[in-house]
């Protein structure tokens, strides 16, 4: 079974609109972490935002926020006021268990294209 599911292979969004990228996860661990990364066509994987399973508040970093719904096991990334430079692949990833970065499990990614 897929541990990380990103259901949107690709999305087109008008510049300045908000974007929601979906991510659902499957784990039986109580302690886990959820990550979002951005990968432009250049290849670099850029860390965007992190949410711990025990964090009570949704994580926010500038224009990025994570809509964490624990009961539904979803961790959607919201980008407010999208910009042309946001066009990239976006990956959701999960770390199961405390403190072990080795075990990052990755989704297949969503390709986001921002239209001018």
Nearest to 27 by CA among 61, 1, 47: 1
| Cβ proximity to other proteins, 28 vs 42, nearer residue | 42
The single residue among 11, 27, 50, 74 that binds other proteins, judged by CB under 8 A, is 50
On whether the CB atoms of residues 37 and 93 are closer than 8 A, the answer is yes
Tell me the window of 15-23, 67-75, 76-84, 102-110 that interacts with other proteins (CB under 8 A).
102-110
Residue ranges of E strands in the chain: 4-5, 10-14, 19-21, 24-25, 32-39, 46-52, 60-61, 64-69, 74-79, 88-96, 104-106, 110-115
Least distance to other proteins from the beta carbon of 33, Å?
Answer: 6
Tell me the window of 19-27, 61-69, 71-79, 106-114 that interacts with other proteins (CB under 8 A).
106-114
Binding site for other proteins (CB under 8 A): 4, 33, 35, 37, 42-47, 50, 52, 91, 93, 95, 98-102, 104-109
């Amino acid at each position: 079974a897929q541990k990380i599911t990103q259901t949107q292979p690709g999305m087109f969004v008008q510049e300045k609109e908000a974007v929601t990228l979906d991510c659902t996860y499957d784990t039986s661990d109580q302690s886990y972490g959820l990550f979002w990364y951005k990968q432009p066509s250049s290849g670099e994987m850029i860390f965007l935002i992190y949410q711990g399973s025990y964090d009570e508040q949704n994580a926010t970093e500038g224009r990025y926020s994570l809509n964490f719904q624990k009961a539904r096991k979803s961790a959607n990334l919201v980008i407010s006021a999208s910009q042309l430079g946001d066009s990239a692949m976006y990956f959701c990833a999960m770390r199961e268990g405390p403190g072990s970065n080795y075990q990052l499990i990755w989704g297949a990614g969503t390709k986001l294209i921002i239209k001018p």
